[in-house]
Amino acid sequence: MLIQIKNLIKTYQRHNENINAIDNLSLDIPKGSFVTITGASGSGKTTLLLILGGLLRPTSGKMKYNGKELNLQKESEMATFRSNHVGFVMQSFALIPYLTAIENISIALNVKEKNKEKNRKRALELLDWVGLADRTTHYPKELSAGQQQRVAIARALANNPYLLLADEPTGNLDPKLSEEILEVLKEVNLKQGTTVVMVTHSPMAAEYGDTKIQLKDGKLIINDDNTK
Ligand SMILES: Nc1ncnc2c1ncn2[C@@H]1O[C@H](COP(=O)(O)OP(=O)(O)OP(=O)(O)O)[C@@H](O)[C@H]1O
Ligand SMILES: [Mg+2]
């Protein structure tokens, strides 16, 4: 198992109100699986994704990554976990507007590897892989929505994450572009063995998962795991 979650609770406190965004959730995520998460707005999907990626600590419960309890780690170790293991793709593409496609990817690589030429090659390879070899020097505003999302995916994959977390990666896209993005994610999953966890509102997109889970009020109401 890549991830084992047991009795996870996340309570947000606002003024005098407590919101149980994740309410006693237990879930196993096998290595190499493609998990899709659906559920109504406010059901806790993004919260769960942020906890999985080590960006948010749960209020209680356990979460093991590769057998190691993650939430007992120091903040510096969480940061190492995030940069070595996790890639994020968010609904709004979060590309840097004044950098070209290739620069948006290189910047993620430059953090770790100082050899600029090596990073440029790797960024090109990634852009080629998502079908954008002929758009490397385009700025985000010169790319279509689907192309911007593909740059965001290439960037998330820059450091070869074991775990790719995607929050509504097709939320802003039409059906054809959505399918393109989903195919890229499926390929990452199958060819690289990357474990993918994707939040989606679309039943069509959810079908891409080999494990399909549904949340309601922070609880797991469906866990359709076809990997076993
Ligand atoms: N930082 C926060 N402080 C207080 N409450 C929060 C915070 N973030 C989220 N919530 C609440 O927690 C619940 C779960 O939010 P979350 O963002 O995980 O839902 P979601 O399933 O991703 O919804 P959507 O489909 O609309 O993106 C919601 O009721 C939300 O209002
Ligand atoms: Mg959300």
Query: Which residues have beta carbons under 5 A from ligand 2 (an ion)?
Result: 46
| % of the chain residues with pLDDT over 90 | 65
Cα torsion 225, 83, 155, 92 to 10°: value is: 70
Tell me, what amino acid is at 53? G
DSSP string, the chain: --EEEEEEEEEEEETTEEEEEEEEEEEEE-TT-EEEEEE-TTSSHHHHHHHHTTSS--SEEEEEETTEESTTS-HHHHHHHHHHHEEEE-SS----TTS-HHHHHHHHHHTT---HHHHHHHHHHHHHHTT-GGGTT--GGGS-HHHHHHHHHHHHTTT--SEEEEESTTTTS-HHHHHHHHHHHHHHHHHH--EEEEE-S-HHHHTT-SEEEEEETTEEEEEEE---
Q: Which range, of 44-53, 88-97, 161-170, averages the lowest pLDDT?
A: 88-97
> Which of 28-32, 107-111, 165-169, 189-193 comes out lowest in average pLDDT?
107-111
Q: Is pLDDT above 70 for 87?
A: yes
Q: Is the pTM of this model over 0.85?
A: yes
Spelled out in words, what is the top-level CATH class assigned to the domain 30-58+71-225?
alpha beta
Question: What is the per-residue pLDDT for 93?
Answer: 63
Residue 111's pLDDT band (boundaries 50, 70, 90)?
confident
Which residue would you say has higher pLDDT here, 175 or 208?
208
Give the pair of three-digit tokens for residue 87: 């890639």
Ligand found nearest the CA of 11: 1
Per-chain mean pLDDT for the chain: 91
Residue 98: partners with Cβ closer than 8 Å, 6 or more residues away:
139
Backbone phi, psi, residue 28, to 5°: -110, 135
The domain ranges of the chain are 30-58+71-225
Residue-wise pLDDT for 123-161, tens only, equals 999 999 888 999 999 999 999 888 998 899 999 988 889
| Position in ligand 1 atom list of the atom nearest CA 13 | 4
Q: 114 pLDDT exceeds 70?
A: yes
Residues with CB under 6 A from ligand 1: 12, 14, 19, 21, 39, 41-47
Query: Would the pLDDT of 13 be above 90?
Result: yes
Most ligand 1 atoms within 8 A of CB, residue of 37, 45, 55 to mutate = 45
Of 150, 98, 107, residue with least CA distance to 126:
150
Which mutation among 47, 49, 55, 90 tests ligand 1's pocket best, with the greatest number of atoms within 8 A of CB?
47
59-89 per-residue burial string, b: 16 or more CB within 10 A, e: under 16: eebebbbeeeebbebeeeebeebbeebbbbb
Distance 92 CA to ligand 1 centre (A): 16
The distance of Cα 75 from the centroid of its chain, to the nearest Å, equals 20
Write the residue with the smallest CA distance to atom 24 of ligand 1: 41
Name the pLDDT band for 71 (thresholds 50, 70, 90).
Answer: confident
Which tops the pLDDT comparison, 99 or 145? Answer: 99
Residues 6+ apart with CB under 8 A from 181: 146, 149, 150, 153, 169, 170, 173
